[in-house]
Amino acid sequence: MSELTREETEALIQEVLEVYPEKARKDRAKHLAVNDQSVEQSKKCITSNRKSLPGVMTVRGCAYAGSKGVVWGPIKDMIHVSHGPVGCGQYSRAGRRNYYVGTTGVDSFGTMNFTSDFQEKDIVFGGDKKLAKLLGEIELLFPLHKGISVQSECPIGLIGDDIEAVSKKAGKEMNKPIVPVRCEGFRGVSQSLGHHIANDSIRDWVLDKRDGQAFEATPYDVSIIGDYNIGGDAWASRILIEEMGLRVVSQWSGDGTLAEIEKTPKVKLNLLHCYRSMNYISRHMEEKYGIPWLEYNFFGPTKIAESLRAIAAHFDDHIKEGAERVIARYQPMMEAVIAKYKPRLQGKTVMLYVGGLRPRHVIGAYEDLGMQVIGTGYEFAHNDDYDRTIKEMGNATLLYDDATGFELEEFIKRMKPDLVGSGIKEKYVFQKMGIPLRQMHSWDYSGPYHGYDGFAIFARDMDMAIANPCWSKQTPPWKKQPEASAAVEEGELKKVA
Amino acid sequence: MANIMVRKTAVGAYSFYLPKRDLEDAIVSLEFDSADKWGGEIRLNNGGAYYIEPQAPPARFPISLRARRLDAAE
């Protein structure tokens, strides 16, 4: 089922809302909307970045997740200490698949978990001494690390530890940057504030460290910001940007290093992929260093070509030619991918519920495959994200902000998409309902999905999910029509024979 | 008083950004926008209004400023 009319979609929202108590219904109604491309401002149709209702199942993360998991965590040559109880760090360890090159435990630390493992006595007497000791131990055991960030977990803020003082002192002693990050999980309504706090701490503690130092600049220096190299995404993007003649000075923060981040203020243009998590630092660099920033989208050949041209427009003819050359080189390959998968995927419908940039960025990639996105939503977006989404989505499609477990299930039951793109928490719920799901947080352990190379993998994965033979075996044999079951068994026997 | 950032968009229009609230919006009117005086009351597309102390026009954009909220849209 697809192509609901505006009235039908509105009725669907009302029906789903009916089970809530009145107060909750009133609140949740503001977060669900039918897309209307004529609306200029998203706030007229949808409310976002508000506290989740107690009692509903939200899939949001916390500020610590936004800072340690997203922004700081992938910086590979720094050690990120999860300061507080052991669980926050351990259960999120290496879950985001930020690929990197390096020897883990020697010069790179991306998949390792460093924690101060708070105990009762640390809560009672304060954990500053423990932190100081731990920083010394890190320096002793991992001398090749380039710096440390102290990622606070909830108790640090609650008991009022002074991690800034400890960090400053230890940083002076070992002559390396130690960055205290006040990203206690209880701050803000979602991981979004964690991104902001992490961006601010990069601004305050890292970014200006090489100001005034010599740098061999070229007119073609750019940085890739907001690409976390999930499954190798940043590499798939980087080769395209380099192929068109630009020099990538730094990569944030997937497969990134501290030195790259310190050198970012020297570039000519910041290329911003994940707007939600890194716009803060881009705005700062625009103001302080006069570096313009540009949002780009590397999902699907249509959007890639658009983005490459938009990037090239900031440079001279040499780069513009480079962009055209790259597009021309990959065009036949992409046509082959589309020729293979489009006939299989044409007309299929998709519903998305993820975070960051994907609810709007991947729409183009699905459309390239002939698929249609009939519902999309963000976990932690702000109004500016919805402003950008409204234009990308078709009219009368469904938008949901911070959807609850119940709402998402109901929407998907009614709208019956052919594919759902969401996370691991949703995956088995929907697969048991008989609806294929691809994890769009970690690309379901596949990837990369960015860039031209990524699109081929994306197309294959989507086809693999939808065309999996298990979906035709949802009805148990005893509930099947006799003749149908006979035919299936016959087929099965033939295969065995 | 709130910290705000005013930037110029690609087409040369003013754009307003309030970091604390992640509010980005177009500025529809600026009270003083001449070579010797810049600032005053600004009106946003969403209906909000802020007041910047009138000053000499900033040499370059974006610029962070202190602004007083006259009328927030929300």
State pLDDT tens for residues B58-71: 888 899 999 998 88
Quote the tokens at residue A107: 């010069």
CA distance A290 to chain B (A): 8
Under DSSP, the state recorded for B34 is S
Between chain A and chain B, the number of residue pairs with CB atoms below 8 A apart is 33
* pLDDT reported for residue A40: 77
A280 interaction partners in chain B (CB closer than 8 Å) = 19
The mean per-residue pLDDT over the stretch A280-305 comes to: 95
Q: What is the ipTM metric for this complex?
A: 0.88
Active site residue A259: no
pLDDT at A1: 45
Of A291-295, B19-23, B30-34, the range with the lowest mean pLDDT is B19-23
Percentage of residues in chain A having pLDDT higher than 70: 96
Does the pLDDT value for residue A19 go beyond 60? Answer: yes
Cβ neighbour number for residue A349 with a 10 Å cutoff: 20
pTM of the full structure: 0.92
Note whether A375 and A417 are within 8 A (CB). yes
Angle in degrees, 0-180, between the axes of helices A163-174 and A128-141, rounded to the nearest 10: 30
Chain B: residue whose CA lies nearest to A200: B19
Q: State the smallest CA–CA distance between residue A279 and chain B in angstroms.
A: 10
CA A412 to chain centre: 22
Lowest mean pLDDT among A40-54, A189-203, A472-486, B58-72: A472-486
Average pLDDT over every residue of A32-41: 87
pLDDT tens for A325-365 read 999 999 999 999 999 999 999 999 999 999 999 999 999 99
Q: Is the predicted pLDDT of residue A490 greater than 70, yes or no?
A: no
Q: Residues near A297 by Cβ (< 8 Å), separated by ≥ 6? A: A273, A303, A304, A306, A307, A357, A361, A364
Residue A44 CB coordination number (10 Å): 12
Are A41 and B46 in contact (CB < 8 Å)?
A: yes
pLDDT tier, A489 (very low <50, low <70, confident <90, very high otherwise)? low
Residue labelled with tokens 């209702």: A53
Q: Among A373-382, A384-393, A486-495, whose mean pLDDT is lowest?
A: A486-495
pLDDT of B74 reads 57
Q: What number is the average pLDDT over the span A113-136?
A: 96
pLDDT for residue A114: 97
Q: In this structure, how many other beta carbons lie within 10 angstroms of the beta carbon of residue A38?
A: 6
From the list B7, B46, B63, the residue facing A43 with the nearest CB is B46
Mean pLDDT, to the nearest integer, of B11-36?
A: 87
Q: What is the mean pLDDT of chain A?
A: 93
More confident residue, A182 or A482: A182
- Mean pLDDT within A253-280: 95
Residue A492: predicted pLDDT: 54
For the cut 50, the answer to whether the pLDDT of residue A497 exceeds it is: no
Asked if pLDDT for residue A408 goes beyond 60, the answer is yes
